């Protein structure tokens, strides 16, 4: 069961993005700061399917929600 625990690496895999630790850090650095008025799923750097996945998982408060919130916080953190 441990393999199904959502992690940032698995979230990036799910989104079809490079999930290497350095790639995740680079993605966050390249896309922050995300404006306070923009929801994570509405950020312009997501494809339609990525945005739909993020929105759906948050609306359902699914297991992914915790990791998505971590990504959201990282994209809003000051440099």
Q: Is the dihedral of CA 29, 34, 39, 42 positive or negative?
A: negative
Question: CATH code at 26?
Answer: 1.10.10.1130
Query: Which range marks the domain in which residue 26 is found?
Result: 2-76
Question: Higher model confidence: residue 1 or residue 50?
Answer: 50
Q: Which has the minimum average pLDDT: 14-23, 39-48, 70-79?
A: 70-79
Domain total for the chain?
1
Please give the structure tokens belonging to residue 72. 């959201």
Residue 12's pLDDT is 97
How confident is the prediction for the chain on average, in pLDDT?
91
Residues 16-33: tens digit of each pLDDT: 999 999 999 999 999 999
Q: Is the pLDDT of residue 1 over 50?
A: no
Write out 8-45 in H/E/C secondary structure: HHHHHHHCCCCCCHHHHHHHHHHHCCCCCCCCHHHCCC
């Amino acid at each position: 069961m441990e393999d199904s625990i959502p992690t940032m690496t698995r979230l990036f895999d799910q989104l079809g993005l490079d999930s290497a630790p350095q790639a995740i850090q680079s993605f966050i650095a390249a896309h922050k700061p995300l404006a306070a008025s923009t929801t994570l799923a509405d950020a312009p750097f997501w494809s339609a399917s990525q945005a739909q996945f993020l929105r759906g998982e948050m609306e359902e408060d699914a297991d992914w929600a915790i990791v998505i919130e971590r990504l959201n916080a990282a994209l809003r953190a000051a440099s």
